[in-house]
Amino acid sequence: MDIQRWRAHPLVRSALAELADYRPILATALAVQQIPAPTFDEGERTAFVLERFHALGLQDVTSDELNNVYGRRPGPAGSPALIVSAHIDTVFPRETDLTVRYEGDRVYGPGLGDNSTGVAALIHLAQTLQRHNLPHQRDIWFVANVGEEGLGDLCGIKAALARLRTRAGQVIVLEGCDFGTLHHQAIGVRRYRIEAISPGGHSWANFGVPSAIHALVRLAAQIALLSVPRTPRTTFNIGVIEGGTSVNTIAEHASMLLDMRSVDARALQHLIAQVDRLVALAAAETETIQFKTTVVGDRPSGAIQREHPLVQMAVSAYHAVGATVSYQHSSTDANIPLSQGLPAICIGLTEGGNAHRQDEYIVPAKLGRGLQALLLMTLAASS
């Protein structure tokens, strides 16, 4: 059934009218946002979502060893299931002040858009389907997964797909912000921790002994001079440098975190090869300094075409609620299903900004339309 026919369905009309009121969705998003959930420490949010899934009467509600949460709404047919997912982790440390403030049409709070709003949408989507007893032909799995941010390396969605892959047909990934945005092309990402190790010593008495920090920053300077193509878009960033003991100690250890990305797998591999060559050259220049490279992130690329039925369903659903559609490349949980040949999209639910900052915000008035579009996408994809 297409989007317009779903909109005309009497039960769906009633559900869409209910979703027009964004206030209950915002209340849930704020409740989620107030629960600290740094990557690898999401247990409290897991408990919150688990309780809500149980209360909604979903089937097969459970959590796994990583703290992913699962719930299923069964469909009558044996067709492959639809997975709808939202990540529950945040970039903010546990001790972050999570105070919320209201200013004009915005609500500010760390982690509110990314991804407390996505988690709230997952819960309210399941609630709407249950409350209005909306029909669909496929099983729908609701997955609240961990490990999307930073060094989580998409571990949550990887585990979820390993668990559900034989039953899955399509995936819709939810992010709080970028209303009207469709991500159907996944950026490939490789992340390195590069370490330098030296005997070290006293800055005066042992002057001349190579410093791990000196060696590492020389290597970093060489990496910073690398040239990457604008098309296909390829980027790199040294995000963290750490090491040393004191101002008057020749550093025994230093490390840096390097992020490399491209929309093209071959371009990414070429960048990785250039970095590997620079590390090898740095190691060859001295027998005193040891270099060690560890892969700490590997997000594979993948894509479906803009003409794919799942993309077109999402476009129609967005248009049905008056949204302007924007197509973007991204690195999200959708990377994993796309890299495995499973049709997947990532969608945004409301307007917002300043993601990963203390002054992150959303515009809650758009939430109702975002949930209406999500409901229509879900029904179309599961019919």
Q: Where are the alpha helices (DSSP H) in the chain?
A: 3-8, 10-19, 23-33, 43-56, 117-131, 155-164, 212-224, 265-284, 309-320, 335-339, 367-381
Residue 181 has pLDDT above 70, yes or no: yes
Is pLDDT at 26 greater than 70 in this prediction?
Answer: yes
Q: Which residue has the tokens 């990496």?
A: 223
Distance from C-alpha of 122 to C-alpha of 84, rounded to nearest angstrom: 7
- What percent of the chain is predicted at pLDDT more than 70? 100
Average pLDDT over residues 265-278: 97
Model confidence at 36, in pLDDT bands (50, 70, 90)? very high
SS3 content of the chain, % helix, strand, coil (to 5): 40, 30, 35
**Mean of pLDDT values over 218-245:** 96
Say yes or no to pLDDT of 78 above 80.
Answer: no
What is the per-residue pLDDT for 286? 87
pLDDT confidence of 11, banded at 50, 70, 90? very high
Reply yes or no on whether the pLDDT at 122 is more than 90: yes
pTM score, two decimals?
Answer: 0.91
Q: Residues 284-291: what's their mean pLDDT?
A: 92
- Mean pLDDT throughout 242-269? 96
- Quick: pLDDT tens for 155-179: 999 999 999 989 999 999 999 999 9
What is the distance between the alpha carbons of residues 118 and 146, in angstroms, rounded to a whole number? 13
Measured CA to CA, the distance from residue 376 to residue 320 in angstroms comes to 9
For the sheet with 234-243, list strands across it: 234-243, 253-262, 188-197, 290-299
- Rounded to whole angstroms, how far apart are CA atoms 157 and 134? 27
Per-residue pLDDT band for 373 (boundaries 50, 70, 90) equals very high
How confident is the model at residue 372, as a pLDDT?
Answer: 98
DSSP secondary structure letters along 136-196 = -SS-EEEEEE---SGGGTTHHHHHHHHHHGGGEEEEEEEEEEEETEEEEEEPEEEEEEEEE
pLDDT at 77: 73
Task: Give me the residue label for tokens 């027998």.
Answer: 287
Which one has a higher pLDDT value, 287 or 236?
A: 236
Which CATH number applies to 188-299? 3.30.70.360
Say how far apart CA 239 and CA 255 lie, in whole Å.
11
User: What is the pLDDT, as a whole number, of residue 1?
Assistant: 65
pLDDT value, residue 79:
80
Q: Which of 142, 178, 108 is nearest to 357 (CA)?
A: 108
At 75, list the tokens: 């469909």
Beta-bridge partners for 347: 174, 182
Nearest partner of 241 among 232, 250, 251, judged by Cα = 251
Pairwise CA distance, residues 222 & 219, whole Å? 5
Per-residue confidence (pLDDT) for residue 312, from 0 to 100: 96
| Helix axes 43-56 and 117-131, enclosed angle (nearest 10) | 10
Taken in order 39, 42, 48, 50, the sign of the CA dihedral is positive
Mean per-residue pLDDT, 75-82: 86
Residue 146 CA to residue 139 CA, distance in Å, equals 22
Average pLDDT of span 169-195: 96
Quote the mean pLDDT of the chain: 96
**What integer pLDDT is reported at residue 76 of this predicted model?**
86
Fold of the domain spanning 3-186+301-381: Aminopeptidase (3.40.630)
Q: 328 or 130: which carries more pLDDT confidence?
A: 130
The first and second tokens of residue 164, run together, are 């559900």
The confidence band for 80, taking pLDDT boundaries of 50, 70 and 90, is: very high
Tell me, what amino acid is at 6? W
Q: Identify the three-state secondary structure at position 303.
A: strand
What are the residue ranges spanned by the domains of the chain?
Answer: 3-186+301-381, 188-299
